[in-house]
Structure 1
């Protein structure tokens, strides 16, 4: 309530801090623990927190060891020096899934700028030491391959209302071949679901299908829907936080080759040359951030889709999008760049080695002067610095001479002014221009974010059975285009069988909280600094106006006598110049809560300042803070004095003395030159100088080792602050398998890297570039001559241009042997010598491979087709690539191709100059003359020379009789073959292990080398319009289909039914004399069948009348017997049927009776139980 008299303010309840209770005890205990006074606190019983179960202790110990072993990997030396290049984020997805909209929203989140069109790479500053470069992946297969080779993070956009499409799986397989970067899925179009339960089930199904393709636990982000045509700010903010915490994966191919993503393309061909010949070779310049490894002058590069070129010039340029921590403010009008996208028209400066171009969009800024009656047109809430200055100059009413004549000097605050000669007689000064008042009324824009939670992962218990999930294609026409849906049998929509209990809880925010919790401090701090710097730079143009307004005020006598005190503006350049020398790692050692204050506080710590003894409110510290009290604990008697001694030692080593500050000077009166201590030491003998250098180098190495050790512990372990816990964790890490060796190896690599940097830093810039090359992260300008004019004419900024460096030996061509496997989703097997498009390294070319498999004896046997579900060798001709390079095979580059476009995947095994693939042939022949164990074979060879070539070769017959080729047969003039007129050329004399027959077929099995075609056609998609499909060599089947040619049928290749006549063997003829000598057992006893019938078979049998009557009576009796048996059987069947019916009736009655008995028994038992309860 307000006071009755209406005077004074309404009293509010003051905040009272808790002095008792759980929170107060917790805070008090925390302060004591921080101060190191454990004696006064509550003592904990160590046995109460020990393991009570040996099994549990063993399980946790095994888990800790597993986590530690999972952390270990082969360390890779990070060769990047200085600022890293921007983090490349590739946004990929099928058409009309929201790629451009997502990039626009992310750019709006980072830069507060509206992006009209996404064209080419877009570089933005996302934090103090991090830049992000967004790239929209085209929908054609060439753009997908190029984007996968440079992506540090791939955002796979998936239409949640439709499901997975083949484009997503194709891009995943491309990334797996060319080095798997970080991958994160993004579900869109979720606002089309009206049923919450169906939405949850769909998320669950898509998430597990995503996990089956990548790994279990892969992140899948959800964008719930659109608000005013854009994604919600909170979801975009969460996605940006996820991007900020992802670290790039060091890939072997990229670390060994320099490359850059072109973000600016210019044609610098002389105009006269183009006028004389429009199809002349062009001179182009390519700009981009250097990545991978250092690039030296003279390095050959490959421009994807164009070919190999030699660099005519390499120049390092100023960073067009520098980091805020590294940018120097040389004037009031400098602005820290927050974005750089020259292809998209976003940004106002274009940097070159000769000039800096200012790009001003006419449709955004009105530079014509407004009429007096018209209201000034507004450009929006946020005006750029250049726009405001141009508009200020346009609104000036007086010229410079008129303003000088109307100026005056104000000696005293309220006294009369010293007038100029053009003032009127009464002393009235001409009023100043009103435009100066209008200049100060400029708006600064701010921004606010709505707080809305984004959905995370669903909790479920579905198990993944197999990673090799079979996918079938379902082609349908949806939303105006042909869509290829990926249907997985194991991940169908019918997931209702898991249960529909109403008590299910949707914990979709858990993953977001888990992943974003650790990144809140780093990312939010970066965003806060970005917004503060942007506001500071936007308001810098007002500072002259503010100074002019303050100059008109009355000045105090103190200011007249002692001058104007230094302001924050005067001190800013010194601070900015010194900020570059500070290491980024020193920010970790700033006390909590002071890092943000130092950005805005006044620099009153200078002892030469006028008000050095004056304390400002901003400089005062809150000594009730426990952390601040802990920071000065070691300065008292109860603290640790050893740390203070170390600080003093470091101060003596690192601090600057007076000699270092002032240096050498000369007395102008006496002419005597005074030198500092450092200069005197520098002119001493060489031995002392070397000893000092060795001492400095030794201290430098110790510091580097300490820093590397800190980085290694910071990355992998979770060491606590107490020294005892540090020792325990250190010993535990060293006892683990390989943990200590791993950290030591990383430390040695870091020390070696820092030593190399120190050696190169002593050289001048030109010498260092000649030795080391341009470092990664440098914004370079590449000049290439002799480029086909089609590259300039058909340049499309929507398709990425990748420039990759070519290593030693990679510019040569030769035979390469790769291990290849047909993709399990590709419909057809691959045929030998069918042309395929291969992507290896930076290149894409068409070649004709020969497939083979290795036998047990090491022979590489040619295969006509690729085997099923296994790898095989592929030998082809093309530009050489180092072993272990990924190989991606495609048969067709058309976007309208319905099947899965990834044909095969593999890796390079080796490259050589010869091909060692053989195939088996069979030479057949027939005997023309047979001796005892020798025969003359014809039809197998065509000449005696061929026979001589195969002397000693093994042969065999169809019946299995083995033999050997001897020599060419010599046919005499009177031989039977000569008389018959047959061809006697190529007849070979062969020996066998047994006598063969004239009907035997003799064949020879041999192996011959297969010649690999030397065909290599570079895929030049950049030299033609992007809408056209590059057409290379076509397969035989495609040519037959195009020209309507039927498949030729070889009659010998057709399988026919085998009709074999029964062989007739002649009887063994034994001479009569020999039969007489043989015993009876061995004599032939099988007499031949008599051709003429005997007398018994020729004479008919005629029965007597009595015999005829007897047979007739017997036949009648048999008929009676059969009739009686039939009637008896029919009667038995009727009886059996009646018995079964009676039995079924009886069983039914029995069951009914038994059921009644059970009911009665159950009633009695139930009654007894009820009585027992009572």
Structure 2
């Protein structure tokens, strides 16, 4: 970005080579360090380090080009002004993975404080210009969605011994929809691996899986294990360094909407109203750092989980966790490593609109006095911020009204005679003694210190005419300077007297000397103050607000000067040079031009030996020239510099007139462009720099665009700075990074009753038009890990912008003719349109859909993702419909059909529509048919209208069914139910509208079946075709190809060739007798078979019984035999 003053480039620190030491000796041994070779050494071959392979050179060049293209992006205008808000780090992970422990270790690393419990946002100061706000992400889907919307960096904690869990992938998908901030993975529980080889393989496997989900090269940090219940300090330190170098990504939605993460929540409802009605609407105040864009008064906000509300009050408070004010510091001292966690119960100060609450530990300090004459007891390490403030408020000498009545404004830099009488003679000595006591580290005098500080600021404002370095308006004296003073001075102890900042002391001494140049002497009190000034100056590495403290010292010095008559009469000459030296404005010199007409004696002698610029000569009309402004033309170098401007000089260097020639560019003549003297052809150099310069036009355009954006921002800031604070807030609003207080009225009492600090509260501003409701069309795709497809008009919970609400979408797909055709279910692996009713959101806003908020119902809770395409007030989704009818009277190619339309008006609407029969005969609707006497309906109650005359391609039958394909608009339900998870206990799952399947399952209702819609098995008889009988005569005449060749040879005589045999009556009787005897034989055989089977079964049963007895007997015999054999073996061993 362009610098603040709008001119010149940013100065960079010059490189200084090592003159002595190991590096200098090493370079000198190699060749002097400047690339020069030794006199006797061989020169290096420039071709030795060139590319040896053209393929390798091409590959490296392509890689460099890809890296450059990935780095390019469209410049985005940063509208934030002032200090940035804290960097939000969301720590997310499954349960029992170490989220709270990691936050505690990081807070311990930054602040040296032990955090007992992690509740709500925790803000810490991590550097000179950076603050970090830690937030633990809850495991429910609502908290994950809210945390993903505000995260600048997400630390995904993964249990290395278990692997990835669905919570991690769900959170990644949520972040991808809502902007996808920076992501870093952290592996924990690695100490459970005992095998090093298995640990290495597990790390590699998890790393590649993490890369596949995000991008190749995504950072995955490893936490090896725990030592005494905490992570190792070195690993926490390395992780903190990674966090410190990450820059937030400017997301379009956040930059266009103001929002804040609530770090403090209070109920300010009158106690009497709550006592009378416990369920009355409450008045609450929300505190947090403003992010995104500026917030104006009257902006409607959305509190996640509660609803939309109007702001009743919006004020800006002092920063409870300010950045160190000093810019020249290499680090932070322990006192400046502040942190702010009101929900966790930590932090010294708590800022409100009309009060500052101080938290002190009882074991560190005791404020009550044992006796009025005795001093309070000292306990603890010494005076600190809280002790000094509370002591100063115990016994104030004067009230605020008395101080205002006693204060006055000095016009000439000195006190009037009336005021001089009221001041004691030893006031200066007492003031110096108080200051020296503060520098030595003694107790701070509660009343004297605050009174002297307030007097110093009032006197500093009165001496602004004489000191151009101290210019304070009334508003700054009353509010800003006191806040900076308390934050900068009293919060930090003074260092020892033998340590001081050289740069600041020199600048401060110069200012004092320039102011005291016209004075003859100073008072004794001011001299003693200058002696003690060095003891009070803090170093840049130790304190953060030196400039304010030194300004107060300088103000005291100016207020205690003795009256100087020359200064009172003539004043001090204000020229442009003095204004430039002292940092003043030119307007002050123009206003006091009449008073600066006279000059005090000896003023010109003082500036005689100083170099005066040409701009200063226009300030006053002098008739005297100074020798310092004249050039010595006897100098040879000065004459040589203008030699080429005359005729005798070298005119070929006319282009270099008025410019300094760079001696390092002498090689341009050797390697630059040259002209062939014979042909006159100009050959351009083919160096790499020229080739790169010709192709970097787009880089120049980007730089010009960035410069234009910076200039435009600076112009806006300069225009707004001319307004006063109230007018600027009305026009611009409260700037980002400021700590603001929101007051909201009419909040349901459940928000206060069920408030849980472990769940983040996000307050987002609502833009113009976003408070209205209407139809929105989104491009939606079912997640590949969601098991079931989505059904039209089934309720889903949608997260768009700051809101979460339940709606019933209708899915559709666009045909080639532009028609949006309704789908009953979402398609597989592709996007579809989803139209639903809800609060309007701008196009390109991310859409996240979930069906269940419970953790136990489905394995993967993300149902679908997409983005908003447009929003309108009409639904344009259509579905196909078929209108059927039957013919009532048929002519040749014309027929009268009924049942398709209900009136003649509908027939007139569909004149010319295409129709067809089930058999495939196409037709067209003509006109409404006139009812003739013979065509009167035969059934009672049948309508006489809606009969249409239609023409067809062919004659149809009375049994034909005529149908027409048409399209009808689908009505999208206007259902929108806000998800109010903050108005109920956090352990209770929010229940909205249930799907049809859930209702049937709950009430045990079977799925209705339509007989006509059921698929019936098709039963068809197999048709058998008789073989073709070809006569023998024809077969002889047929060619060989057409003759039957696969006809099988018949083994039996055909029926037609058989001779029928007729039996005589006697033969019939004989045949009957034989049949009877055969029947008796078969019957006897059957009975015998049955008896044999019974005998066989009885025999087998008896045999099994005998075998069982035999086995038992044999077992007993073996047992007796084995026993005898064992006894014999024992006898033989004896």
Give the TM-score band, short-chain normalised. Answer: 0.5 to 0.7
Q: Give the structure 2 partner of residue 540 of structure 1.
A: 493
Shift of 1:262: 0.7
1: CA distance, partners of 2:379 / 2:619: 61
2: CA distance, partners of 1:912 / 1:804: 24
1: CA distance, partners of 2:157 / 2:579: 55
1: CA distance, partners of 2:187 / 2:852: 29
2: CA distance, partners of 1:58 / 1:997: 77
1: CA distance, partners of 2:188 / 2:664: 47
Secondary structure at the counterpart of residue 239 of structure 1: helix
For residues 473-622 of structure 1, the aligned pairs below 5 Å read 540=493, 563=528, 565-572=531-538
Give the conservation status (yes or no) of the 8 Å contact 1:29–1:41: no
Give the conservation status (yes or no) of the 8 Å contact 1:296–1:774: yes
Assess, with a 3 A threshold, how the Cα gap between structure 1 residues 924 and 724 changes in structure 2: closer, same or farther.
farther
Q: Give the structure 2 partner of residue 256 of structure 1.
A: 256
2: CA distance, partners of 1:328 / 1:785: 45
Assess, with a 3 A threshold, how the Cα gap between structure 1 residues 732 and 28 changes in structure 2: closer, same or farther.
farther
Shift of 1:337: 6.0
1: CA distance, partners of 2:814 / 2:52: 58
1: CA distance, partners of 2:256 / 2:664: 42
Secondary structure at the counterpart of residue 741 of structure 1: helix
1: CA distance, partners of 2:55 / 2:878: 60
- Return 5+ residue gaps in structure 1 as ranges: 1-16, 394-435, 443-532, 547-558, 583-598, 607-649, 685-720, 1064-1095, 1104-1174
Assess, with a 3 A threshold, how the Cα gap between structure 1 residues 662 and 295 changes in structure 2: closer, same or farther.
closer
**Partner deviation per Cα, 1:274-329 (whole Å, 9 max, x = no partner):** 22222222221111111111111111111111111111221111111111135999
Shift of 1:219: 0.7
Q: Give the structure 2 partner of residue 292 of structure 1.
A: 292
Q: Give the structure 2 partner of residue 828 of structure 1.
A: 788
Assess, with a 3 A threshold, how the Cα gap between structure 1 residues 680 and 27 changes in structure 2: closer, same or farther.
closer
Q: Give the structure 2 partner of residue 349 of structure 1.
A: 349
**Partner deviation per Cα, 1:693-751 (whole Å, 9 max, x = no partner):** xxxxxxxxxxxxxxxxxxxxxxxxxxxx9989999869736624622222222222122
Aligned counterpart for 2:805 among listed residues 845, 849, 854: 845
Q: Give the structure 2 partner of residue 141 of structure 1.
A: 141
Aligned counterpart for 1:865 among listed residues 822, 825, 838: 825
For residues 510-909 of structure 1, the aligned pairs below 5 Å read 540=493, 563=528, 565-572=531-538, 655-656=581-582, 732=692, 735-736=695-696, 738-909=698-869
Q: Give the structure 1 partner of residue 198 of structure 2.
A: 198
For residues 60-75 of structure 1, the aligned pairs below 5 Å read 60-75=60-75
Shift of 1:19: 9.1
Give the conservation status (yes or no) of the 8 Å contact 2:37–2:43: no
Assess, with a 3 A threshold, how the Cα gap between structure 1 residues 1047 and 763 changes in structure 2: closer, same or farther.
same
Aligned counterpart for 2:930 among listed residues 959, 965, 970: 970
2: CA distance, partners of 1:40 / 1:280: 96
Q: Give the structure 1 partner of residue 1034 of structure 2.
A: none
Give the conservation status (yes or no) of the 8 Å contact 2:792–2:823: yes
Give the conservation status (yes or no) of the 8 Å contact 2:328–2:540: no
Assess, with a 3 A threshold, how the Cα gap between structure 1 residues 895 and 666 changes in structure 2: closer, same or farther.
same
Give the conservation status (yes or no) of the 8 Å contact 2:796–2:806: yes
Q: Give the structure 1 partner of residue 283 of structure 2.
A: 283
2: CA distance, partners of 1:282 / 1:760: 37
Secondary structure at the counterpart of residue 255 of structure 1: helix
**Partner deviation per Cα, 1:533-554 (whole Å, 9 max, x = no partner):** 999988727979x9xxxxxxxx
Give the conservation status (yes or no) of the 8 Å contact 1:328–1:576: no
Assess, with a 3 A threshold, how the Cα gap between structure 1 residues 682 and 125 changes in structure 2: closer, same or farther.
farther
Shift of 1:192: 0.9
Shift of 1:228: 0.6
Shift of 1:659: 9.6
Assess, with a 3 A threshold, how the Cα gap between structure 1 residues 903 and 1001 changes in structure 2: closer, same or farther.
same
1: CA distance, partners of 2:617 / 2:277: 68
1: CA distance, partners of 2:32 / 2:306: 67
Secondary structure at the counterpart of residue 142 of structure 1: helix
**Partner deviation per Cα, 1:448-499 (whole Å, 9 max, x = no partner):** xxxxxxxxxxxxxxxxxxxxxxxxxxxxxxxxxxxxxxxxxxxxxxxxxxxx
Shift of 1:968: 3.0
Shift of 1:50: 3.9
- Return 5+ residue gaps in structure 2 as ranges: 1-17, 393-437, 445-485, 500-523, 558-575, 605-612, 622-662, 669-686, 1024-1054, 1063-1134
2: CA distance, partners of 1:1036 / 1:110: 53
Aligned counterpart for 1:1042 among listed residues 1002, 1006, 1025: 1002
1: CA distance, partners of 2:97 / 2:664: 52
Secondary structure at the counterpart of residue 938 of structure 2: helix
Assess, with a 3 A threshold, how the Cα gap between structure 1 residues 992 and 662 changes in structure 2: closer, same or farther.
closer
Give the conservation status (yes or no) of the 8 Å contact 1:321–1:337: no
**Partner deviation per Cα, 1:798-824 (whole Å, 9 max, x = no partner):** 111111111111111100000000000
Give the conservation status (yes or no) of the 8 Å contact 1:880–1:911: yes
Shift of 1:663: 7.0
**Partner deviation per Cα, 1:376-395 (whole Å, 9 max, x = no partner):** 99999x788257779999xx
1: CA distance, partners of 2:245 / 2:884: 71
2: CA distance, partners of 1:787 / 1:21: 70
Shift of 1:567: 3.7
2: CA distance, partners of 1:75 / 1:952: 58
Assess, with a 3 A threshold, how the Cα gap between structure 1 residues 543 and 392 changes in structure 2: closer, same or farther.
farther
Q: Give the structure 2 partner of residue 1161 of structure 1.
A: none
Q: TM-score under structure 2 normalisation?
A: 0.64
**Partner deviation per Cα, 1:336-359 (whole Å, 9 max, x = no partner):** 461111111110101112111112
Shift of 1:660: 8.0
Give the conservation status (yes or no) of the 8 Å contact 2:388–2:490: no
Give the conservation status (yes or no) of the 8 Å contact 1:225–1:231: yes
Q: Give the structure 2 partner of residue 687 of structure 1.
A: none
Q: TM-score under structure 1 normalisation?
A: 0.62
**Partner deviation per Cα, 1:1107-1152 (whole Å, 9 max, x = no partner):** xxxxxxxxxxxxxxxxxxxxxxxxxxxxxxxxxxxxxxxxxxxxxx
1: CA distance, partners of 2:355 / 2:101: 34
Secondary structure at the counterpart of residue 934 of structure 2: coil
Shift of 1:1043: 1.3
Secondary structure at the counterpart of residue 834 of structure 2: strand
Secondary structure at the counterpart of residue 314 of structure 1: strand
Give the conservation status (yes or no) of the 8 Å contact 1:158–1:185: yes
2: CA distance, partners of 1:922 / 1:304: 46
Does 2:978 align with 1:1025? no
Secondary structure at the counterpart of residue 784 of structure 1: strand
Assess, with a 3 A threshold, how the Cα gap between structure 1 residues 361 and 971 changes in structure 2: closer, same or farther.
farther
Assess, with a 3 A threshold, how the Cα gap between structure 1 residues 1057 and 365 changes in structure 2: closer, same or farther.
farther
1: CA distance, partners of 2:765 / 2:792: 32
2: CA distance, partners of 1:872 / 1:924: 31
For residues 207-226 of structure 1, the aligned pairs below 5 Å read 207-226=207-226
For residues 86-235 of structure 1, the aligned pairs below 5 Å read 86-235=86-235
Shift of 1:102: 0.4
For residues 894-933 of structure 1, the aligned pairs below 5 Å read 894-933=854-893
Secondary structure at the counterpart of residue 1052 of structure 1: coil
1: CA distance, partners of 2:823 / 2:277: 51
1: CA distance, partners of 2:694 / 2:582: 39
Give the conservation status (yes or no) of the 8 Å contact 1:367–1:390: no
**Partner deviation per Cα, 1:597-619 (whole Å, 9 max, x = no partner):** xx9xx99xx9xxxxxxxxxxxxx
Secondary structure at the counterpart of residue 296 of structure 1: coil
Secondary structure at the counterpart of residue 532 of structure 2: coil
Aligned residues: 812
Q: Give the structure 1 partner of residue 561 of structure 2.
A: none
Shift of 1:62: 3.0
Shift of 1:790: 1.4
Give the conservation status (yes or no) of the 8 Å contact 1:835–1:1034: yes
Shift of 1:897: 2.4
2: CA distance, partners of 1:19 / 1:386: 47
Assess, with a 3 A threshold, how the Cα gap between structure 1 residues 541 and 662 changes in structure 2: closer, same or farther.
same
Assess, with a 3 A threshold, how the Cα gap between structure 1 residues 964 and 671 changes in structure 2: closer, same or farther.
closer
Mean Cα displacement is larger for which, 770-779 or 850-859?
A: 770-779
